[in-house]
Chains A and B, each alone.
Chain A
Amino acid sequence: MKHVLPLALFLSFPAIMTAQMGMYQHGSVIRMHMGDCTLAHGGFMVAFGGPSMAVNQESCPEYTLMSPNVVYVIVGKSSNQLIPLSEIVDFRLHKNELAVRVDDAKHESRFVIKEMMVRSEWERMQRHIDEQLKAAELRETEH
């Protein structure tokens, strides 16, 4: 009886791992820049709370993560919260945050979700921006 519990845990370990792996969605980081930390530190109230709120000068990494159906814009909570820019990133949604599995490591890195957009809509918007940029470029070169 004494050995039953560890044995059961040992036997169920692969199943637990598989279940946890199954929770992850896959995506790819397509953009990254250092941006404002306000949203990551204080959330909505700090971001839109007006000038009385403390202004933070630190810059935080902002990633655009593209999954098959949704495009997320996520913000790190500190300047050194970096995720490797590998082709495929495993992530899951957890309590209004996005948890990214860092390069097969056991730990996750949690990010604040700044924006979410349906992928087709995001692509349509990008095409529109590209067209506008090209048109502006054309006007500039022709003058």
Chain B
Amino acid sequence: MPMITISIRMQKTLRTLWRYCWLSALTSVLLKAAYPQDKLDGHSYSSQATPAYTYRSGVSEVRLLFFAADKQNRVVDGLKRTDFAVLDNSWVVRDFRSLTRSGSVHLDVILLVDCSASVLPRFDREFRNAMNLVSQPGWRPEDNLSVLVFGGREVNLVCDGNCGNWFTSEHMAALPSGGATPLFDAVIAATDVLAQRRQFGRLPVIVVFSDGNDTISVASLHDAWKKIVASEELVYAVDVSGDSENSNGNSALRKMADDSGGRYLSLSEDPAELLKGIIGDLQSGLVVSYSVPETTAGFHSLRILPTHNLNLQFRSRRGYFYQAARPRQETLP
């Protein structure tokens, strides 16, 4: 009888032991799954065990300033999203993220004044026109206005910031005049100045008063053009030569202005109206944004065309440089 009792007791003990073993094995498996070895060892991540993460970032939105006019070149009011389509590298874009007026945008303007020998006979007139432009009532106190002069081998930023009152006869007399024309170097210098103080919601604009005949620049017309397109600045070129015929000078000015979405203006027309036109133009622009339809890196050509009314005419920059997403490898701290 006692023998039987012992064997029953032993069986019970063995069963209990078996349960403990089974339970401890299960607990250890669960613990390993919940807390990996490196956590249990040092309670911290090891940089060798954690893989470095690579992520890509890139701008996929295009913001495009444009101007709409009718056949008589009058500004079109009340333009809707459905009235136009953007051709981005020949792809038709009709799906826009936003469409706003540029009137609410503040301006960052650089006036580029040519002081070289080729414009010397007309320099007085050129200076007065620049003065008339800054005294137009359309400017707002928030707009930034700077003056950069060029002539000989020099390009000088003579006034930076709030230069509405800079155009005086004293300043005009003090300006160096004569020498060669470093127009393209001056345009590049202006784009650099604007790029340094670039802010979201501020439109960078260059107004060039020149005859367009560059004679000494280190940079070429192509370099200046590339810089303008890459920096997405608006160029208004005021041709002070008074030549109505095509020349190298006015075609260079026209190229820079047209491809930036700005305008080429000749002072052989009524200067007061032209200058008023620049201010009106800057306030009548529209800004449309959309996602890039094709992520090919490099130059993307741009054009805006009507969707219904073929009498509508659009002006915008002719393209932009798209940069592909750049990979960056980073390790978690």
Q: Could you tell me the distance in whole angstroms from the C-beta of B86 to the nearest C-beta in chain A?
A: 9
Contact A84 B295 (CB under 8 A): no
Main DSSP-derived SS at the B contact region: loop
**Does A127 sit within 8 A of B, measured CB to CB?**
no
**Does A137 sit within 8 A of B, measured CB to CB?**
yes
Q: Could you tell me the distance in whole angstroms from the C-beta of B228 to the nearest C-beta in chain A?
A: 23
Please, how many residues of chain B have a CB less than 8 angstroms from a CB on the other chain? 21
Binding stretch for chain B, among A10-18, A29-37, A42-50, A93-101: A29-37
Contact B91 A133 (CB under 8 A): no
Q: Could you tell me the distance in whole angstroms from the C-beta of B322 to the nearest C-beta in chain A?
A: 10
Contact A137 B85 (CB under 8 A): no
Q: Mark A45-72, 1 if CB is under 8 A from B, else 0.
A: 0000000000000000000000000000
**Does A103 sit within 8 A of B, measured CB to CB?**
yes
Contact A82 B91 (CB under 8 A): no
Cα distance A82–B303 in the bound complex, in angstroms: 13
Contact B297 A137 (CB under 8 A): yes
Chain B residues closer than 8 Å to A137, beta-carbon distance = 295-297, 324
Q: Could you tell me the distance in whole angstroms from the C-beta of B85 to the nearest C-beta in chain A?
A: 4
**Does B219 sit within 8 A of A, measured CB to CB?**
no
Chain A residues closer than 8 Å to B307, beta-carbon distance = 84-87
Q: For residue A35, which residue of chain B has the nearest CB?
A: B90
**Does B92 sit within 8 A of A, measured CB to CB?**
yes
Chain B residues closer than 8 Å to A33, beta-carbon distance = 87, 90
Docked complex: B297-333 residues within 8 A CB-CB of A: 297, 305-310, 324-327
Chain B residues closer than 8 Å to A134, beta-carbon distance = 295
**Does A142 sit within 8 A of B, measured CB to CB?**
yes
Contact B310 A141 (CB under 8 A): no
Q: 27 interchain pairs (CB within 8 A)? A: A29-B92, A30-B91, A30-B92, A31-B91, A31-B92, A32-B90, A32-B92, A32-B305, A33-B87, A33-B90, A84-B305, A84-B309, A84-B310, A85-B87, A85-B94, A85-B306, A85-B307, A86-B308, A87-B82, A102-B310, A133-B296, A137-B295, A137-B297, A137-B324, A140-B297, A140-B324, A141-B325
